[in-house]
Amino acid sequence: MQENKSDVIIIGAGPCGLFAVFELGLLGLKSIVIDILDRPGGQCAELYPEKPIYDIPSRPKVTGKELTDSLMEQIKPFGPKMYFSQRADSLIKLPNGNWKIITDLGEELEAPVICIAGGGGSFTPKKPRINNIDTFENKSLFYSVREIDKFNGKDLVIAGGGDSALDWVLALNEKVNSIHLVHRRPDFRAMNDTVEKIRVLEKEGKLTIHVAEIDKLNGVNGQLESVTLKNKLQDNAYKVDCNFMLAFYGLTMKLGPIAAWGINMDKNRILVDTEKFQTSEKGIFCIGDMCSYPGKLNLILSGFHEAALMAHGCFNLARPDEKLRFEYTTTSKNLQNKLVG
């Protein structure tokens, strides 16, 4: 199968999208996954990575990050192609009956089945209130990292105090010429282990940390030359030279382009049947927080159940010439070979 073609395109790498890869994989169906975030896990990874979840069957206590890591481990045998930092923007019905998804980066992906696992919507960055910020956006100021090599040998300012800001400091510090982390408080809202690594970098002189806010962006034609920082308590402003800035001020969830795809909806949620989790459009399925049906509960375990029924429900559309065989992982040699090789 070509790289940009698959049996199923899953929109959303939250827990339900990830488990869908597994359920589809058991039936021999290949998946492509797209998420606007730069990492898997959806709400678990973004909103509560360190908080324990107590109602995942057979896991008495598991954090959002641990659950995401386990799901990634579980789907490894099926090697899904994952497109991160990209939003599924348009949906087009092709003459051959397949669906095409075009992302905001212009990636074109094709499959007979689409599974929307978009949760509460695509995570959208909160913008800081800084004059003339629009001039610099997507030229030298970014809210996510899409091309790591862009920053090679450059002077970089990263603003924010959460996991995203700190993880990108760790990922980019070896590549850049200089790196400055700007956060309005001296303490960070990130995993302990990450904060410890940040402190080590600072001690080694590889990172400068500023307890301040970004007051002004300075440059010409959208190209940053410096940022002006201000510490409200000390009331002193000063400039830090830079070519690029990454801003991580948190995320909100917005339904986004899916709302315009012509699928029947009810209050920002997609209506599905509870046999296959198919929407009003043949070949478009929806599971997890984004689907709506009588009695729907926004729980991860509900999304897992929906993923299993969706996988069985879409099989005939993905593989019209094959017969679906129901097998147990405990007793099927075929499934065990797929899972453990």
Ligand X SMILES: Cc1cc2nc3c(=O)[nH]c(=O)nc-3n(C[C@H](O)[C@H](O)[C@H](O)COP(=O)(O)OP(=O)(O)OC[C@H]3O[C@@H](n4cnc5c(N)ncnc54)[C@H](O)[C@@H]3O)c2cc1C
230: β partners: 213, 237
Among 169, 217, 258, 286, binds ligand X (CB under 6 A): 258
Amino acid at 252: T
Measured from the CB atom, the residue of 297 and 340 that comes closer to ligand X is 297
Residues 228-257 that bind ligand X (CB under 6 A): 256-257
Among 63, 74, 298, 332, binds ligand X (CB under 6 A): 298
Among 8, 9, 29, 35, binds ligand X (CB under 6 A): 35
Other residues' Cβ atoms within 10 Å of the Cβ of residue 218:
15
C-beta of residue 283 within 8 angstroms of C-beta of residue 263 = no
Among 8, 9, 11, 109, binds ligand X (CB under 6 A): 11
Minimum distance, C-beta of residue 1 to ligand X, in the bound complex (Å): 22
Instruction: Tell me how far CA of residue 193 lies from CA of 38, 71, 168, 188, 198, in angstroms.
Output: 20, 22, 14, 12, 9
Among 173, 288, 311, 318, binds ligand X (CB under 6 A): 288
Q: Residues 121-150 vs ligand X: string with x where CB under 6 A?
A: xxx---------------------------
Candidates 193, 195, 212, 192; CA nearest to 203 is 195
Measured from the CB atom, the residue of 19 and 151 that comes closer to ligand X is 19
Please tell me whether residue 85 binds ligand X under the rule CB under 6 A: no
State which H helix or E strand residue 315 sits in. helix 300-318
Minimum distance, C-beta of residue 90 to ligand X, in the bound complex (Å): 10
Minimum distance, C-beta of residue 59 to ligand X, in the bound complex (Å): 11
| Separation between Cα atoms, residue 309 and residue 303, nearest integer Å | 10
Among 10, 12, 62, 161, binds ligand X (CB under 6 A): 12
Residue 153, phi-psi category: left (phi > 0), alpha (psi -120 to 50), beta (remainder): left
Q: How many residues bind ligand X (CB under 6 A)?
A: 37
Q: Closest residue (Cβ) to ligand X?
A: 119
Q: Residues 94-123 vs ligand X: string with x where CB under 6 A?
A: -----------------------xxxxxxx
Residues 39-58 that bind ligand X (CB under 6 A): 42-44, 47-48, 53, 55
Tell me the HSE value of 89 on the side-chain side, using a 13 A CA sphere.
Answer: 9
Among 189, 299, 312, 316, binds ligand X (CB under 6 A): 299
Coil, strand or helix at 179: strand
Measured from the CB atom, the residue of 167 and 289 that comes closer to ligand X is 289
C-beta of residue 23 within 8 angstroms of C-beta of residue 46 = no
C-beta of residue 42 within 8 angstroms of C-beta of residue 328 = no
Minimum distance, C-beta of residue 224 to ligand X, in the bound complex (Å): 27
Q: What residue ranges in 71-212 does DSSP mark as E strands? A: 81-83, 88-93, 99-103, 108-111, 113-116, 122-125, 141-142, 155-159, 178-183, 208-211
Among 6, 7, 15, 315, binds ligand X (CB under 6 A): 15
Measured from the CB atom, the residue of 155 and 306 that comes closer to ligand X is 306
| Separation between Cα atoms, residue 338 and residue 209, nearest integer Å | 48
Instruction: Tell me how far CA of residue 237 lies from CA of 57, 72, 213, in angstroms.
Output: 53, 45, 10
The residues that touch ligand X, with contacts defined as CB under 6 A, are 11-17, 34-37, 42-44, 47-48, 53, 55, 87-88, 117-123, 256-258, 288-289, 298-301, 303
